[in-house]
Structure 1
Amino acid sequence: MDTPPPPFEALADLTKDPGTLERAKLLTDALNAVPDLQKWLRQLRQQDVLALHEAGMSYTDIAPHLGVKPERASGIARGASRSTNPGGSGRRTKAPGPAEPDGP
């Protein structure tokens, strides 16, 4: 694969200058930031599902557009994550709510 999959085409600059320490460092930084990216994307999706539901759309109507069942759409709105706790209890975790803005 020469280019990143949609919607990550903007990362294509990371394909420049193969075999350099600079690129290796940029790729390492990008890989290390993936969990933060996932967290941010989940928060944005949660906000959208909440807004759609508050506007009158049912989870049954929302779900097919996300490729999930209505119960999962409801869970997304609540911030429920499908990942398990790092401690291994197997219980679902709740994703944090929208990020608080930084200080003044």
Structure 2
Amino acid sequence: MSGPNLDLKPETATSWSVGVDIDPAPGLHFALTCWDVNYKNQVLANLSNLAILGTEAQYAGTGIVLRGTDAATRVQHLLAQGVTLAGGSFPGGNITLFVDGRSQNLGV
């Protein structure tokens, strides 16, 4: 599945840094910098992740990768909501895998 994610929130971050530079002698320079970045609602784009099935365990419980009846149930739910899948003509048959390639707020 690809397309817009209407539940997507803006990614934000708070950060800080502190540093010191010391020149104790000509030609001798020391520098130390400490920093930290804390993300909230970090956006991850899965559509370009061609190896997503190789890292499927990372997405457990997110609904990004579903198999079997969970996949079929999710697709039926989306179709019932009027979401267009597969370019507008959804193929029939058994659904065994669902990958939600939309951007998601998965980062902490």
* Fold match by TM threshold 0.5: no
Q: Which has the higher contact order (CA 8 A, sep 6+)?
A: 2
Structure showing the higher helix proportion among its residues: 1
Q: TM-score, normalization: structure 1?
A: 0.28
Q: TM-score, normalization: structure 2?
A: 0.28
Larger radius of gyration: 2
